[in-house]
Amino acid sequence: MSNIYPCLWFESEARAAADFYCSIFPNSRVLSAAGISVTWELDGNKFMAFNGGPHDTFNEAVSFMVPCKSQDEIDHYWNALTSGGGKEKTGGWCTDKFGVSWQIVPTILG
């Protein structure tokens, strides 16, 4: 079976989002960017995105969970993902400046 990975729909910020995420997570890089699509890796996990226009927006029905081993790690991801217009929520949830939802969770909680 082929690998399964998420494809995110941005209005027009796919490349900016990929660069933003790669600047936050270790061992990350943009793999390719051509036309309206971009593919990148965050610490070994593949993602794809494209610029699809304003037809759909992100919501909390889908989120990415980031398990953290220390408070320093929690602070790093929380501060980075909420920077530049992201929104802090309760219970370890936040939304980044592109509207993507994240859960920053201590590994001790599961």
pLDDT digits (tens, 9 = 90+) for 89-102: 999 999 999 999 99
pLDDT digits (tens, 9 = 90+) for 33-72: 999 999 999 999 999 999 999 988 999 999 999 999 999 9
The residue with tokens 């592109």 is 98
Which CATH code of 3.40.50.300, 3.10.180.10, 3.40.30.10, 3.30.67.10 fits the domain covering 1-51? 3.10.180.10
Where do you find CATH 3.10.180.10 in the chain? 1-51, 58-110
pTM beyond 0.75: the answer is: yes
Structure tokens at 48: 């794809």
Which CATH code of 2.40.50.700, 3.30.70.1230, 3.10.180.10, 2.10.109.10 fits the domain covering 58-110? 3.10.180.10
DSSP 2: -
Of the pLDDT bands very low, low, confident and very high (cuts 50, 70, 90), residue 75 is very high
Of the pLDDT bands very low, low, confident and very high (cuts 50, 70, 90), residue 1 is low
How buried is 64 (Cβ within 10 angstroms: 0-12 exposed, 13-18 middle, 19+ buried)?
A: middle
Q: Which of 8-12, 28-32, 56-60, 86-90 has the lowest mean pLDDT?
A: 56-60
